[in-house]
Every structure is written in structure tokens, then in C-alpha cells.
Amino acid sequence: MRKAPSVVLLVLVAAFAVLGGAAPAAGHAYLVGSNPADGDRLTGAPPELRLDFSEHVVLAATRIEVRTADGREVAVGDVRLETKDAGDTEEPATIVAALPDLRADAYRVSWETLSSDDLHRTSGLIVFGVGRNVAPAASVTSTTRPEEALLRGALLACIAVALGGLVARRVLLRALTGPSADAAQRVVTRLAVVGASAAPLLAIALFAVQWAASGTGPADLLVGGYGPRAAVRLAGLLVLCAVWWSWRRRSVLPGRAAAVACVLVSVGTGLMGHAPSGGRNLVHVVVASAHVAAALSWAGALVCLAAAMLWGSARRAPDVLATLHAFGPAAGACLGVTVVTGIYLSSDTVVSVDAAVLTTYGRTLILKVLLVAVAGALGLWHHRRVRGPHDLDPPRRTVLAEAGVLLAVVGLAGLLASTATATDPAFARQAPVSVGQVSRQVTDLQLAAGLSPNRRGDALAVVDVFDTRRPAPGPVVGVDVRLGGGPHAAAERLGDGRWSAPVRIDAAGPTTITVTVLRAGMPPTVTDFRWTVPGAHPARGVLISHTPVRPLLRWSAAALAGVLLAGWTIVGRRGRARRPAHAQDLRPPRADELDDRLDDGMTARER
């Protein structure tokens, strides 16, 4: 047992090393933009369709369908995946589909894809017109399959029972003695064995359901970030199952085996959840893992203890009170960690107040927060009750109610894991769109051009000119820019080969940036850059606020963590200061001691 902390640290380092090759999972690859954009009216036919996603997607499971206004299907050409780093599944990715020469009409694009990291399915619809005005579809949804959400909830519930059983065993060892302790331990062990045995089977069943719905082979799904993360969680579940079966058969595994299992399960499950679009850092991984461990251990331990109170011999009033008294510190710590980490994680899954109240994810999260508050209030009432008069009936019903509420919280967590986050850009204030440049080698010149901001209205055409020959045949004396069929604009020298010229973007869609480079003693160098101006995100009316809530939630989590750490530090110091003189009083009362107190109380009332 003395080596358990070092073993846990070693497992943590190994898990992060194994998963370091692929950045931690971001729950759901959601659409961040498209070209043409939803609601665009284009003056000419676009050569291709580009769908920009927040992270890597499974190309083999991607479906794109284009139809005209009267329902005729338009054949889509080659579909490819573009990303800066094909090995990093956390990198933003773009699906590019070649389009035929589209005639003037309205077009509906239906798309569907899978996230490479967690196999979450996302679909949507965009509408654009060629020479016609169209209304935006404003439809980007995450397809939540009921069987998938049910399996996720059941899997989390089984993990909770298996993890919480470890906490419940220690609580019962401190609270009960004799036959009562043995009977209660048997109930907890049986329940935890069922949960630990079912969890690996449910994890495999979940993957089978996702595979069947993907329409592609299992290798395509496992080659991304999903494979190693699922393997880490499955390994932890198998070790945890072995630990509980060893206790069930009266054999004993080293305590560090249980610690290793807890680490693997918590890290693996945390990595399968939602994350920011830019990817998680080490802090985010630790926070997510701590959230999983604390929340599931709290819920599972209370369920196991409630079962012991119902079907075990821990139904007597002294046993109930002693068990709740011993469970208080662990429950308080789990509640504090759950709340702090939950606030931190929600800062990356909810973009604004309107997103919280108008999306399925946001409403589900609000309901989950309310249920956690109810469970916390019941726990606080139990804390005060066990420290009050001991001659009253024990709070069995409210303990069962708290366990039921926490099981509902676990079920909602499974639903949240199957639902797209409330991060739709339409619910947040957006900064002006600005993209990079496209480059080309023209004779001995390396040219790059782009528009900033890349949206309708006034903009700047930024041109970089570099002569690759040494010595240069002639200095650059001027640059002329023309956007589409618009007027010519003389560019102004900014220095270091960069020039800029004011232009006017009148419409979204494909256009041409014509750049003319003038050099002394040489003919002009003229080249065209193909460019596409995307449309704006569909506007949404403000119900409450579109102000980003991420800074507020991050600061709130930090402040609450500081308050809780300070409180725990003060309580710990007071306890250590009092322990030499009152060690017996500080130990949680055992059931036999409470039984004597109850007898004394009844005798006093009879007198």
C-alpha cells in the first residue's frame, strides 16, 4: 500500500504518454464555417464546396448530398479531407467536394459526418443560390441516437457503481463492526461486481452501435484518436473488474491495482468527453479526469451505501447514522471537486447565456446543474442531521432520494456526451472574419494575396511580393490590384515586400484578385488569384445575451477552488491541532457507540 501513490503517478505519466501522440478528444466535430456559406447569393457557380470543421472527421463516414430547388440531385465530384496535420485529430479539418458547373438555381446541401475522436455524429443543411436570393437554413444538428445515449448513461452508471464501491467499502470499514459490517460489505461487493462486469460489455456494445451507424469499417473508426482513448478506458475497466471479482472470491489484489484501475478509467472516460475546439492541454485533461472521478465516485458510493441500508444489515438507526457520518468528508470533497471542475469544463461547452437556454445541450446541462444542487442540499441536510440529536429516526428516505437524484445526474451526463455542445457561433458575438493568403510562383516572383476582412463591405487587399533571383533584375516600383470586374487600385508600400490597397467586396462567392507587379526596366507581371468570399453566419435574435461566458466561468471556477482549498486547509489545521487531546472525539462514531447513545437517550426520556 505504501507504493500506491508512486504507482498511480507512474500510470498517469504512462497514460498521458500513450495519448500524447493524438491530442485529447474534443466532443463533437462541429461545423465552424462553409464556402459557400448558408444563405449566400452567388453571382457565379462555385467550383467546389468547402465544409470547415472544428476537428478531424472520418472521411469514409462523411456523406454530402446536393439538390436543386425542385429536388433533382446534383452529382458531387471527388471528396477529400484537408488538414494541416493529418496525424493530429484535434486539428481543424475541411471537407472539400468538387462541384459541377451549376446553373442559376437554389441549392440545398445536406451533410453528415463523424468525429474521429469520439465517433459523435453531426449533420446539417446549408442553402445557397447561384443568381438567386435564398433564405438560410440555419440547420446544424448533432444526431443523438436514443440507443447510443442510453448505452452511454448505462455505462457511466456502471462505472459509478464500480468506482463508488471502493469508497463505500472504506466508509463501511470505518463505520461498522461485527456482523453488520460483513453483511453490508457483501451487498456493496455484489453490486460493484455487477457494475464492474457490465461496464466493459457496455463499452464494447457502444462501439458496435457507433460502428453499425457509421456505414464504414471498424479500422476507419479506430485509426483516429478514438482507438487509444477507448483502449485506455477498457483496460481500466478490465482491471477494475478483476479487482472486484478478487474481493468477491475472498482473494486479495494489491491496493495499487484498484488505484491503477481508477486512474485509467477516469483518464480514459475524461478524454472521451467534450473539449475546446482548439484542443486540450494538460490542465484540461487533469480537470476532466478529476471531474469524472469525483462525480462518479460520489454517485456510486451513495448508491452502494443506500443499497446496504435497504438490503444489508445496516438498516438499524445506529448503522445508518454511523455510515452517513463516515461518508460525510468523502462526499463533501467529491461535491466540491465536481462543482469546480464542472464549472471549468462548461466554459468550453456553452458559449453564451442564449446558447444555454436555447439549445438541447444547454437545457440538459441546466437540468443537470439543478439536480446536482438538489443532491448537494440533501447531503448538507444529512450532514447536519447526523450531528444533531441521535434519538430521531435516521434519514433513510432522503438518502434514497439523494441516490436517485445522483443516478439521474449520471443519466443526463450520458445524454450530454451524446449531444452537440452549445457552441454555435450564431449564439456569440463574432469578430470580423479575416483569412490568410493564397500564394503562387510567377516567373521569378513569389506572390501572395488575400482580403482582410474577408466579408462583404470595405476591405484591404494585402499583397506580398518577393523576388527569388539574386541579384534582382529590377526593383518593384508599384503594385496594382483589381477585385473581380471592379476598378483598379494602386497599392501602397508597407515595407518588407508587403503592399495593400483598399477594395470593395460587393457580394459573397467566387471572385478573382488580379495583381499587377511593376518593376523598373521590365514588363508588368500580371497574375490572377482565385478567391471566395464566404457569407455571414445566420443572424439570431438576442434573447438574453450573446456575451461570451467563458471568462466568467473560468474566473468563477478559480475563485470557488480557492475558497474550498482555504476552507479545507483551515479545517485540517484545526483538526490536527485538536487531535492530541481529543483524538477519540474526532474519530467518526461507530455504530456500537451510537447504539449506546440511543439507549441512553431512551432511558433519559423514560425517566
Whether residues 255 and 339 share a domain: the answer is yes
Specify if 539 maps to a domain.
no
* Cβ atoms 318, 592 nearer than 8 A: yes
Amino acid 209: pLDDT: 85
* Mean predicted lDDT score pLDDT of the chain: 79
How far apart CA 85 and CA 56 sit, in angstroms, is 10
Co-location of 66 and 133 in the same domain: yes
Residue 358 CB: number of other CB atoms within 10 A? 17
Is the pLDDT reported for residue 39 higher than 90? no
Structural domains of the chain, count: 3
Does residue 218 lie within any of the structural domains? yes
The pLDDT-based confidence of 604 (bands split at 50, 70, 90) is: very low
pLDDT for position 204: 92
> Among residues 371, 365, 283, 368, which one has the least CA distance to residue 549?
365
Task: Name the pLDDT band for 8 (thresholds 50, 70, 90).
Answer: very low
Beta strands in 131-248 (DSSP E): 139-142
Give the pLDDT score at 28: 62
pLDDT at 390: 52
Q: How many CA atoms lie within 13 A of 398 on its CB side?
A: 18
Domain shared by 261 and 342, yes or no = yes
In a domain, 431, yes or no: no
- Give tens-digit pLDDT for 484-500: 878 899 999 988 889 99
Q: C-alpha grid cell for residue 565?
A: 482549498
Mean pLDDT over 582-599 rounds to 48
Q: Is the pTM of this model over 0.85?
A: no
Mean pLDDT of 124-149: 77
Strand, helix or coil at 26? coil
**What pLDDT sits at residue 575?**
61
Residue 581 has what pLDDT?
Answer: 44
Q: What is the mean pLDDT of residues 285-293?
A: 89
How does residue 140 score in pLDDT terms, banded at 50, 70 and 90? Answer: low
| One-letter amino acid of 168 | A
Compute φ and ψ for 445, nearest 5 degrees.
-110, 135
pLDDT at 31 over 90: no
Closest CA to 255 of 268, 263, 192: 263
CATH number at residue 444: 2.60.40.3340
User: What three-state secondary structure class fits 421?
Assistant: coil
What average pLDDT does the segment 84-96 reach? 69
Same structural domain, 377 and 290? yes
Q: How far apart are CA 188 and CA 314, in angstroms?
A: 11
Is residue 158 domain-shared with residue 95, that is, in the same domain? no
| 311 vs 96 pLDDT, higher one | 96
pLDDT tier at 259 (50, 70, 90 boundaries)? confident
pLDDT of residue 155: 92
Which of 533, 565, 591 is the C-terminal boundary of a domain?
533
In a domain, 465, yes or no: yes
- Per-residue pLDDT for 596 more than 70? no
| Phi and psi at residue 532, to the nearest 5° | -125, 130
Buried b (16+ CB within 10 A) or exposed e, 402-427: bbebbbbbbbbbbbbbbbbbbbbbbb
pLDDT at 139: 57
Asked which of 142, 162, 192 is the last residue of a domain, the reply is: 142
User: What are 80's strand-pairing partners?
Assistant: 96
Looking at 87-91, 175-179, 280-284, 586-590, which range is the least confident one? 586-590
* 597: in domain: yes
Terminal-residue alpha carbon distance, the chain: 51
> Is 565 found in the same domain as 507?
no
Residue 506 has pLDDT above 50, yes or no: yes
Greater model confidence, 373 or 532 = 373
pLDDT of residue 191: 92
Check whether 18 has a pLDDT greater than 60: no
**pLDDT over threshold 50, residue 324:** yes
Q: What is the pLDDT of residue 296?
A: 93
The answer on 445 and 527 residing in a single domain is yes
Closest CA to 140 of 154, 124, 151, 155: 124
Per-residue buried b or exposed e for 62-79, using 16+ beta carbons within 10 Å of the residue's own CB: beeebeeeeeeebebeeb
278 pLDDT higher than 60: no
What CATH number did the domain enclosing 59 receive?
Answer: 2.60.40.1220
Mean pLDDT computed over 548-552: 88
Predicted confidence band of residue 584 (pLDDT cuts 50, 70, 90)? very low
- Read off the pLDDT band of 14 (50, 70, 90): very low
Residues 190 and 295 in one domain: yes
Print burial letters for 477-508: b (CB count within 10 Å at least 16), e (below 16).
eebbbbbbeeeebebeeeeeebbbbebebeeb
The DSSP annotation for 481-514 comes to EEETTS-EEEPEEEETTEEEEEEEE-SSEEEEEE
Q: Which residue has the cell 456502471?
A: 158
Looking at the domain assignment, is residue 540 inside a domain?
no
**Residue 569 domain-assigned (yes or no):** yes
CA 192, CA 159: separation in Å to the nearest integer? 9
Nearest to 123 by CA among 107, 109, 134: 109
Same domain? 133 vs 12: no
At 177-197, the pLDDT tens digits run 777 778 888 888 899 999 999
* Cα–Cα distance measured from residue 178 to residue 384, given in angstroms and rounded to the nearest whole number: 27
Q: What is the pLDDT of residue 149?
A: 86
Place of cell 445496516: 314
Are 150 and 107 members of one domain? no
- The mean pLDDT value for 470-496 works out to 87
One domain, residues 307 and 234: yes
Residues 223 and 317 in one domain: yes
Point out the domain boundary residue: 475, 501, 533.
533
Residue 343's pLDDT band (cuts 50, 70, 90): very high
CA dist 229 and 117 (Å) reads 8
203 CB-contact burial (10 Å; exposed 0-12 / middle 13-18 / buried 19+)? buried
**Cα–Cα distance for residue pair 47/532, rounded to 1 Å:** 10
Task: With H, G, I as helix, E, B as strand and everything else as coil, classify residue 442.
Answer: strand
DSSP string over 343-379? HHHHTTTB-SHHHHHHSHHHHHHHHHHHHHHHHHHHH
Q: Judge whether 260 and 253 are in contact, CB under 8 Å.
A: no
Query: Which one, of 457, 446, 539, lies nearest residue 498 by Cα?
Result: 446
pLDDT confidence bin for 145, thresholds 50/70/90: confident
Distance CA 30, CA 53 (A): 5
Question: What range defines the domain where residue 523 resides?
Answer: 438-533
Is residue 405 a contact partner of residue 367, using CB atoms and an 8 Å limit?
A: no
pLDDT-above-90 percentage for the chain: 18
293 within some domain = yes
